[in-house]
Structure 1
Amino acid sequence: MSKLKKNLIVAAVLAAAFAAAFGSFLLLTPQGRSGGGLDATPAAEVLPVRGDSHRLTAPQRGELTVVEFLDFECEACGASYPVVERLRAEYGDRVTFVVRYFPMPGHHNAESAALAAEAAARQGKFAEMYARLFTTQREWGEAKESKADVFRSYAREIGLDLRAYDTALADPRTAERVRADQRDGLGLGVQGTPTFLVDGIKIATPPTYEAFKALIDARLAR
């Protein structure tokens, strides 16, 4: 076995180990495309935050921006959800918390969940669908069959106009909006979820609320 081939095998084993330990990771083919349904080509000009990015908080004088690239079906993202909720409750008047889509190819309903969230955003209820998807993740996550009907029931529960919701799901621009987030993520070096950027710099995901709080406090004190 050649040294190059041996190194590639070791790298693949390490990648799998990190994926199992820290959440969902994107696997690319040699052509640079994912095994899922979304475009895995990085954006030509990448930005951590765009004008249409979904902001969970919008302080008048934001001192810091925290961006999360997430997959609604990712268990690690589900574990981060209550941490982010505590942080934005505490720092919402100083920190801008931004959510960006990064559905992973290994999750059967990740793209569908992202589309549901974006369809809700068309009616001004992104935050409500975001919360609903994460608080119910154990009920639909890891399923092999489509959960589009479940997500539609959430749309009804949060008060969406279902006709407008269905129209948004069928609109190619909704899927393109999800792909745009993923392309920015890839260009920024996102390989798995959740991935956090603080003022545009990718960080290692803090393991606890206390660790994340300490990081934010340190950045705000600068």
Structure 2
Amino acid sequence: MKTPVKVALITVAAAIVLAIVGVAYALSQRPAEPLSPEGEKRQTVRTDSHVLDDGGPDAVTVVEFLDFECEACGAFYPIVEDLREKYSGEITYVVRYFPLPGHINSTQAALATEAAAQQDRFEDMYHRLFETQAQWGEKSEETPEVFRGIAAELGLDMAAYDAAITDPATLDRVQADRSDGERLGVRSTPSFFIDGKPVVLEAWGDLEAALEKAVEQ
């Protein structure tokens, strides 16, 4: 076998292994039972939550708490995209931030996405961060310049982007999602809720099975 071919095959195999490991990790992480402190309302969705797909008043609501640097979230990304297409018009898909402290760039990625959202470009940034995760994930230091570069590639108003990144309200918005997640019992990412109920991921296909059941009801 020629060396270039061998290298290509090894690269593809490594990518597949990483994806499988990421998904397997996610499947091993059960969400905790929702916490309901006395007098405190649990919120899976708020009026300012970011909606990727709005299926209307009768749609099933799917909420994902995610960390853009999380490899398991990256592995679930194509699965989620397939489900969004399959159940288009039947679900409302909501994304909420849950940056994990062990990921150096997770908060920076969330800030970049929220800054893009202020220019109505949330979904564009959402896609680009997962598409480029391997380039900026697992770093030893924050790399805000990488996210600024992505914002520029997307054609965002960079003055507005920079102002949003430094505005404490942007970080507050990210932290508000995380706080809601903590109150709901979220401990790992991705964590999914369907019509307010947590989805327990124990085996391949559990997310789709839960979604299919909810849609059919």
Structure 2 counterpart of 1:187 = 183
**1:21 aligned to 14, 21, 25, which one?**
25
Distance 2:144 2:45 in 1: 28
1:212 aligns with 2:216: no
* Residue of structure 1 equivalent to 2:34: none
Whole-angstrom distance in 1 between the partners of 2:188 and 2:153: 30
Gaps of 5+ in 1: 1-19, 26-42
Verify the 8 A CA contact 1:116 1:152 in the aligned structure 2.
yes
CA contact (8 A) 2:28 2:202 kept: no
Q: Of residues 115, 121, 125 in structure 2, which corresponds to 1:119?
A: 115
For 1:204, give the aligned amino acid: V
Counterpart amino acid of residue 22 in structure 1: A
Residue 178 of structure 1 pairs with residue 182 of structure 2:
no
Q: TM-score, normalised by structure 2?
A: 0.80
* 1:169 and 2:173 matched: no
Pairing 1:75-86 to 2, within 5 Å after superposition:
75-86=71-82
* Paired AA for residue 62 in structure 2: V
Aligned pairs for 1:32-71 (under 5 A) are: 44-71=40-67
Superposition deviation, residue 206 in structure 1: 6.3
1:90 aligns with 2:86: yes
Are residues 1:202 and 2:198 paired? yes
Note the alpha carbon deviations across 1:33-78, whole angstroms, 9 max, x for none.
Answer: xxxxxxxxxx953300000000010123442011000000000000
Which SS does the other structure have where 1:124 is aligned? coil
In structure 1, C-alpha distance between the alignment counterparts of 2:106 and 2:43, rounded to whole Å: 23
Which amino acid letter does the alignment assign opposite residue 201 of structure 1? K
1:215 maps to amino acid: A
What letter corresponds to residue 214 of structure 1 in structure 2?
A
TM value normalised by structure 1: 0.78
**Cα distance in 2 between the residues matched to 1:55 and 1:24:** 27
Q: Report the Cα distance in structure 1 between the residues aligned to 2:97 and 2:154, rounded to whole angstroms.
A: 20
The structural deviation recorded for 1:211 is 4.0
1:164-188 deviations in whole A, cap 9, x for unaligned? 0000001111000000000000000
Superposed displacement of residue 90, structure 1: 1.6
- 8 Å contact from structure 2 (residues 27, 202) kept in 1: no
CA distance in 2, matches of 1:72, 1:197: 18
For residues 44 and 156 of structure 1, what CA distance do their matches in structure 2 show?
41
Shift of 1:24: 10
Is 1:138 the counterpart of 2:97 in the alignment?
no
Q: Give aligned-pair identity as a percent.
A: 50
* 1:103-124 deviation digits (Å, cap 9, x = unpaired): 0000000000000000000000
Aligned length, in residue pairs: 185
Show the counterpart of 1:99. Answer: 95
RMSD: 2.0
Secondary structure of the corresponding residue to residue 144 of structure 1: coil
Whole-angstrom CA distance in 2 between matches of 1:192 and 1:24: 10
Q: Provide structure 2 residue ranges, at least 5 long, that are not aligned to the other structure.
A: 1-23, 30-38
* Letter matched to residue 216 of structure 1: L
